[in-house]
Structure 1
Amino acid sequence: MAKKPKKQSGGAPEWMVTYSDMVTLLLTFFVLLLSMANMDQIKFSQAAGSLKGAFGVFGGKDRKEISPPSLVEIAPVHDDLVQRLYTRIMTQMNRLRMDPSIKVVKDRGAVILQINDSILFAPGSSTLKPAAFPVLAKVAELIRPLPLSARIEGHTDDIPFGRADMSNWDLSVARSVSVLKYFQKNDLLPLNRMSAVGYGAEKPLVPNDSPENRAKNRRVEFVLESLGDYREELPYLIDANEQLPF
């Protein structure tokens, strides 16, 4: 007598259920990694909510929130922007044949032009020398086509000023304002791209312990910083934080 064939149970095989659970958990895990890579707290919270759902953790009095880990912010794109601006400014300075005594440095997330006070002013004076006019005209020509703001900073050494009614700080402010007024009066740079500030002897480049060092500290600086969003100004730069890994 022939045996009757066993009836097969309906639905997917049992191994398929286990396999589907594993694939779902892997997908949730990679979504979590992606949200952490983008340094986006909102996306992280959303991914954490998805992870709770995948593990069966839903609303309730005893639910525990998954607190996002503390993330260290890194700005490689901003550093790349400063480097590109620095390279371009150096190229422009060579093209314009600017005074070789003008130094260019990268500091405080900006590119800074440093001009010794003897090029622009007589000792103890805040009135621009006629010889300073072509120098400042080239500085303006350098800055004008770039998407940059210019903060004009005045600096002095630590020797007290000779007049009782004027301090080193007063002199540094007057000098930075004189440069700003020259740019505005001669229509070299728009006023909304400039600002003026004086620090006196508070921010020396080197210790004020010799006549040579004091001469280095007496300077006017042009702190060149990006205007607005770098992605609008320099669209060829790619933000690594916005790129998907797949």
Structure 2
Amino acid sequence: MADDENAPVEEVKCPKCECVAGAPAWMTTFADLVTLLLTFFVLLLSMANMEEVKFAEASASIRSAFGAHSLPAPSKFSIPIIPSPPVSKFTPIQNEMASKVYKRIQSQLKSDNIPEDVELIKKEDDTIILRINDAILFKKGSSVVSPTAYPTLRNLADIIRPLPMRLRIEGHTDSTPVSKRKIGNWNLATDRAVSIMRFFKRGNLLPLDRMSAIGYGADRPIAPNTNETNMSKNRRVDFVLRTNNTLGLGTKSAKAGELPL
């Protein structure tokens, strides 16, 4: 019994285990978390200071730490704009109609009691103009139609009435002031156009929905106002005929400055 108590105790040794070299895996994750938290607080501190220089330096440091690279600036390019072809305001049918009307009016002017001073003009589109000098229609400086012009206007109305075209009466003057008011020439041109329009209306010579009147004064000369011959050409009344609706005729579609019946 005494021998058993005095016997040496054998030391129990654990079996040797093969440990992997390096830090544990959890420490790597923890280190990443600490680094991210540190970066986050540094970013907050930089933004709190509101100093652009330090903020830019901190941003550059963060981008460098994470291996970020600045994106290249987008290339600038422009898409070529191809202008659309101009849209014609009149159709070939309207142009052909205007040509036939022009020839018809031309023959009527020769046979009817129309002064030779009446000029017939055809524009490139569907516009036909009957141009009359103001001396045939009015006395100097007056907007009242002269009685001697009544036959001429009636014959013009007879020519225009059967035509499938709209009429705009345009009054024009030269550059000589007719009054002390700056708009005196404009008023005279407008009053003359309206007087002719009223003449057609009162005589029931033309339908009301086909006419309008406008005055341009000296704003649209056909010749330089340098001598009396040219100034006489500019003092005129134009009877503009068109087959489409671009004149803005009628009481509902008259343009600003025009005076529909």
Whether the TM-score (by the shorter chain) exceeds 0.5 is yes
Do 1:154 and 1:199's aligned partners in 2 also have CA atoms closer than 8 Å? yes
Q: Secondary structure in 2 aligned to 1:111?
A: strand
Let me know the Cα RMSD of the aligned residues: 2.2
User: In structure 2, how many angstroms separate the alpha carbons of the residues matched to 1:112 and 1:183?
Assistant: 17
Tell whether the 8 Å contact from 1:154 to 1:175 is kept in structure 2 after alignment. Answer: yes
Q: Distance in 2 between matches of 1:101 and 1:130?
A: 17
Cα distance between partner residues in 2 of 1:181 and 1:109: 26
Which residue of structure 1 lines up, in the alignment, with residue 104 of structure 2? Answer: 88
**Secondary structure of 1:104's aligned partner:** strand
Partner of 1:106 in structure 2? Answer: 122
Letter in 2 for 1:109: D
Say if 2:135 is the partner of 1:151: no
The letter for the 1-side match of 2:239 is F
Aligned residues: 161
Match of 2:186 in 1: 169
Shift of 1:70: 4.7
User: 2:132, 2:238 → 1: CA distance?
Assistant: 6
The equivalent position to 2:239 in structure 1, one of 218, 222, 237, is 222
Q: Where does 1:185-204 land on structure 2 (aligned, <5 Å)?
A: 185-204=202-221
Distance 1:208 1:131 in 2: 28
Give the Cα separation in 1 of the matches to 2:200 and 2:109.
Answer: 18
Within a 5 Å distance, the mapping from 1:15-26 to structure 2 comes to none
State the Cα distance separating 1:80 from its structure 2 match. Answer: 2.2
Which residue number corresponds to residue 7 of structure 1? none
> Quick check: 1:147–1:227 contact (8 Å CA) kept in 2?
no
Write the letter of the residue equivalent to 1:146.
L
Q: CA deviation at 1:149?
A: 1.2
Mapped partners of 2:177, 2:86: distance in 1: 44
Pair 1:160 & 2:177 matched:
yes
> Distance between the aligned counterparts of 1:178 and 1:216, measured in 2?
20
Q: How far apart, in 2, do the equivalents of 1:209 and 1:71 lie?
A: 39
Structure 1 residue aligned with 2:138: 121
SS of residue paired to 1:199: strand
Asked if residue 142 in structure 1 is aligned to residue 159 in structure 2, the reply is yes
Q: Is the 8 A contact 2:126 2:243 kept in 1?
A: no
User: Which residue of 2 is the match for residue 52 of structure 1?
Assistant: none
Change (3 A) 1:70 1:170: closer
| Structure 1, 112-121 or 159-168: larger mean CA deviation | 159-168
* Cα drift, residue 178 of structure 1: 0.2
Q: Percent identity?
A: 42
Name structure 2 gaps, 5 residues minimum.
1-81, 246-261
The residue type equivalent to 1:130 in the other structure is P
Residues 203-241 of structure 1 show CA distances to partners (whole Å, capped at 9, x for unaligned) of: 11111110110001000010011157xxxxxxxxxxxxx
Structure 1: tracts of 5 or more residues without a match: 1-67, 229-246
Q: TM-score, normalised by structure 1?
A: 0.61
TM-score (normalizing by structure 2): 0.57
| CA distance in 2: counterparts of 1:119 and 1:182, whole angstroms | 15
Displacement of 1:159 in angstroms is 0.8
Secondary structure of the residue aligned to 1:80 is helix
Give the counterpart letter for 1:198 in structure 2. G
1:149–1:76 CA distance, 2 compared to 1 (3 A): closer
- How far residue 115 of structure 1 moved from its aligned partner, in angstroms, is 0.4
**Offset from partner CA, 1:131-177 (integer Å, 9 cap, x none):** 01111000000101111111000000001113548610000000000
Task: Provide the rounded CA distance (Å) in 2 between the counterparts of 1:135 and 1:199.
Answer: 23
Counterpart secondary structure, 2:158: helix
2:141 partner amino acid? G
Q: What secondary structure, in the 3-state scheme, does the structure 1 residue paired with 2:147 have?
A: coil
Of structures 1 and 2, the one scoring higher in RCO (CA 8 A, sep 6+) is 1
